[in-house]
């Protein structure tokens, strides 16, 4: 299917200061297909230079989620999931974590929506459900369970520095849906998280498969990053998020940061809430 985008929202950003690729902002979207396993309308697109025909060779692929394709949720305001994905990217960049691919709001063939640089997953699994004897020696066990026929299985993930950064990021943004399939490793070994539409709720919502660092002390570098992030929420980052999140959601993010710094360690699951998303993959 070849449907051309209308004018991009936010086109023409300064290429020297903006980490978002110019083609992601200004390129014409050509829809290639739909990711049918996604809850909301999620389209795989290629981007071509403005003014080129639809047959032009693709120079970048992206995921486009039009706001009109978002499925309503009982606990998140309608039409805000794409805004939250952009907010997650801004927080990741402000912290220097770079765990979210470049993500913007822009116009597209089905109206405004979230547009995110495609990550070509190299097939590496950093989290999985395995039989006990299959768990690698350097992995962290999260949960013991049984499969559909009663055999023992283990939910576990790698003891990986990039994954630890993602786990800390998830605490800050209050990610309610960190599934194993939302963790991607690119061909250069970079670790990225995707699908951040259900983040930043003012109430505790953290659901993740990355519980391996429960009660682990923060490192000096992690504390420094959290302090910087807290300060930036009172500056440009806070101003940018104000166009994407409700005031109480930004304030709740500050509160989570302050609590992390006060406790100086990763949190434990709340026994009164479901702590792992379903399905976990």
Q: Which pLDDT belongs to residue 52?
A: 53
The rounded distance, in Å, linking the Cα atoms of 29 and 45 is: 6
Residue 30: is its pLDDT beyond 50?
A: yes
Mean pLDDT of the chain: 90
The rounded distance, in Å, linking the Cα atoms of 110 and 45 is: 12
pLDDT in tens, 34-88: 988 888 999 999 998 876 555 555 578 999 999 999 999 999 999 999 999 999 9
Q: Which pLDDT belongs to residue 57?
A: 56
Q: Which pLDDT belongs to residue 13?
A: 39
Q: Which pLDDT belongs to residue 56?
A: 53
The stretch 231-241 carries a mean pLDDT of 96
Residue 29: is its pLDDT beyond 50?
A: yes
Q: Which pLDDT belongs to residue 14?
A: 39
Q: Which pLDDT belongs to residue 51?
A: 61
Query: Quick one: three-class SS letters along the chain?
Result: CCCCCCCCCCCCCCCCCCCCCHHHHHCEEEEEEECCCCCCCCEEEEEECCCCCCCCCCCEEEEEEEHHHCCCCCCCCCCCHHHHHHHHHHHHHHHCCCCCCCEEEECCCCCCEEEEECCCCCCCCCEEEECHHHCCCCEEEEEEEECCCCCEEEEEEECCHHHHHHHHHHHHHCCCCECHHHEEECCCCCEEECCCCCCCCCCCCCCECCCCCCCCECCHHHHHHHHHHHHHCCCHHHHHHHCCCCHHHHHHHHHHHHHHHHHCECCCCCCCCCCCCCCCC
Residue 3: is its pLDDT beyond 60?
A: no
Residue 226: is its pLDDT beyond 90?
A: yes
The stretch 114-143 carries a mean pLDDT of 94
Residue 177: is its pLDDT beyond 80?
A: yes
Q: Which pLDDT belongs to residue 147?
A: 85
Token pair of 55, please? 């047959």
Q: Which pLDDT belongs to residue 53?
A: 53
Residues of the chain with pLDDT > 90, as a percent, come to 79
Residue 18: is its pLDDT beyond 80?
A: no
Among candidates 24, 192, 235, which has minimal Cα distance to 100?
Answer: 192
Using the CB atoms, write b or e for 7-43: b if 16+ within 10 Å. Answer: ebebeebeeeeeebbbbbbbbbbbbeeeeeeeebbbb
The sign of the torsion formed by the CA atoms of 235, 238, 240, 242 equals negative
The rounded distance, in Å, linking the Cα atoms of 210 and 216 is: 13
The stretch 145-157 carries a mean pLDDT of 92
Q: Which pLDDT belongs to residue 37?
A: 80
Which helix (DSSP H) or strand (DSSP E) does residue 154 occupy? strand 152-158
Number of Cβ within a 10 Å radius of residue 49: 13
Residue 21: is its pLDDT beyond 60?
A: yes
Q: Which pLDDT belongs to residue 124?
A: 93
SS3 category, 248: helix
Q: Which pLDDT belongs to residue 133?
A: 95
Q: Is the pTM of this model over 0.75?
A: yes
């Amino acid at each position: 299917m070849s449907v051309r985008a209308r004018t991009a929202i936010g086109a023409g950003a300064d290429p020297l200061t903006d980490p978002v690729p110019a083609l992601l902002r200004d390129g014409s979207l050509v829809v290639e297909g739909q990711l049918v396993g996604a809850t909301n309308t999620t389209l795989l697109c290629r981007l071509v230079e403005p003014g080129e025909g639809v047959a032009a060779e693709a120079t970048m692929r992206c995921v486009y989620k039009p706001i009109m394709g978002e499925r309503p949720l009982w606990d998140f305001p309608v039409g805000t999931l794409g805004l939250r994905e952009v907010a997650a990217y801004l927080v990741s960049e402000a912290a220097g974590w770079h765990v979210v691919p470049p993500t913007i709001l822009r116009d597209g063939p089905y109206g405004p929506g979230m547009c995110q640089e495609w990550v070509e997953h190299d097939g590496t699994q950093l989290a999985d459900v395995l039989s006990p004897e299959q768990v690698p020696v350097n992995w962290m066990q999260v949960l013991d369970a049984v499969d559909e026929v009663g055999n023992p299985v283990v939910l576990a993930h790698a003891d990986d520095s990039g994954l630890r950064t993602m786990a800390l990021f998830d605490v800050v943004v209050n990610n309610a849906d960190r599934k194993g399939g939302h963790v991607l490793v690119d061909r250069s070994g970079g670790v990225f998280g995707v699908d951040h539409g259900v983040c930043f709720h003012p109430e505790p919502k953290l659901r993740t498969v990355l519980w391996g660092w429960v009660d682990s002390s923060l490192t000096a570098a992690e504390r420094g990053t959290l302090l910087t992030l807290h300060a930036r929420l009172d500056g440009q980052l806070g101003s940018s998020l104000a166009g994407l999140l409700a005031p109480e959601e930004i304030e709740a993010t500050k509160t989570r940061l302050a609590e992390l710094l006060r406790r100086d360690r990763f949190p434990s699951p709340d026994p009164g809430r479901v702590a792992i998303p379903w399905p976990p993959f």
